Structure 1
Amino acid sequence: MRRPGSVGRRLLYQHIRIADPDTGAERPAGEVGTILISDPTVFPGYVLGRAVDGHLISAQGKVTDGWLDTGDLGYLDTDGFLHLTGRAKDLIIRGGHNIDPRGIEDALLSHPAVSGAQAVGQPDERAGEAPVAYVTLRDGMVGEDELRAWAAAHVPEPAAAPKAVRVPGALPVTAVGKPHKLALRADAARRVLGEVLGDIEQVAEVSADADSGPVTVTVTLRASAPAGTASEVERRVGAFAVTCRVVGQHPR
């Protein structure tokens, strides 16, 4: 038996739980959470070496009491069919509240002019992260303010309303054509921290990288930057949940 939109039911001898990403509590049918799987093929992992408190295991932290944390988000419907909605690492955490980017993306895709959408978390001084979205358009005449208002009116909860909707030429993808959200997270961080540091004339460039997971921001100072400029940069960036590198620039 098949069900459109689902990946099917559990396999024989397999068990599936949907858990709250924060508390681990089991979620009822229809509610999105982290997908946990237990079956005879799940094992703690391969032994890589020894540590002071025991063995180092290849899947350390991924298997607990026989349950494998898949890293996927999804839900079980009332008939036991599993529906995938995204990846746990893509959750946007706004003031301690988990926001599934899928809700933001679906809201924007419901606009007749939008052909593609990806939502990510942007560093935020007060909330830790704030949602922002990037879209591609069928009709280039739609403005970003209009799209942001549309998203705010159609997202599943007020906290998911994006602070900004941006229209790049194209959405980044990996070598195999999958969405590359790390590139968008880096772009979002570069933009917001570029604004925060915009009045420091001795800042030559702000760049960001998220390929390793956490965002790292690199701030390049001009060669003429006086003593204390780096400290001021670090003070301002320190309010955000990112790693900051301040480097000097050779005179040209």
Structure 2
Amino acid sequence: MCPFKGGNSKLRPAMMLAGTSFEHIKALIDRGIRSDYSFPKGQAYLMNTSDKARNSRATSFTQAAEELGELFPLQILAADYISERKDVLFYFTGLKKVPMLETLYFLPGALADHLTSAGGMLTDSPQMSSLRWLEAGATASYGTVVEPCSFSQKFPSPIVTMFQYALGASALEAYWKSVAWPGQGLFIGEPLAKPFAPHIEEVSPKQFMLKFFSPRTGHLRIERSFSAAGPFSPFMQQKTISRGENQFHFKFNEKTDGYLNIQWH
């Protein structure tokens, strides 16, 4: 999905497969693959740090908790860092250098970053490089490469990142959509990681399960047509969806029932 539509810019979102060795990059890709459709049960850690110059995102944390607290276990901590946690799915902070990363376990698909001036300078930064997040086990991160000043628009918005991830977006999509002014930044990680993407599997002959994650309540509609071009008509009764993980089972014969159009909103 491209956020740059129209015009002749021909710009496309990109994310660098970054690492200091082939082994590090392969491990990163493997984490991304393991995360797909996994619906991880991790925690979101939003750090209200003592570094006032780098803590500008903290003003949005209360809204994030109100909007997303029912989707992800979310902790707003008045601290500079966390340690000895084994359930990290999101970690957003503002520091020049984040200590104790080696004591954490990041779930496959985890997103983590620190708001500071030069995190995107991967190999020669006077501050902590964003590579340290990937080396610690995160699947994607972000950092700026030149002085951005403390404009929160130049860094990922935690509420947007988590909301887009919950919609089923990939790491690339979720991170790109969360940075209003990305011109000075660098996105790194496994771009196709999609832990909350919808998934259909055949659980037994002609019996299917649809599994998806939704940040909102709404309705599921499944329509059928005997032509791929339509028209489509209702295939089953409309279902109510809840916030968070949803599972629906339905019967479908791929040889005789035609094509399905599945929507939820």
TM-score, normalised on structure 2?
0.26
Higher relative contact order (CA 8 A, sep 6+): 2
Please state which structure has a larger fraction of its residues in strand.
1
Q: Compute the TM-score of the two structures, normalised by the length of structure 1.
A: 0.27
- Higher Rg: 1
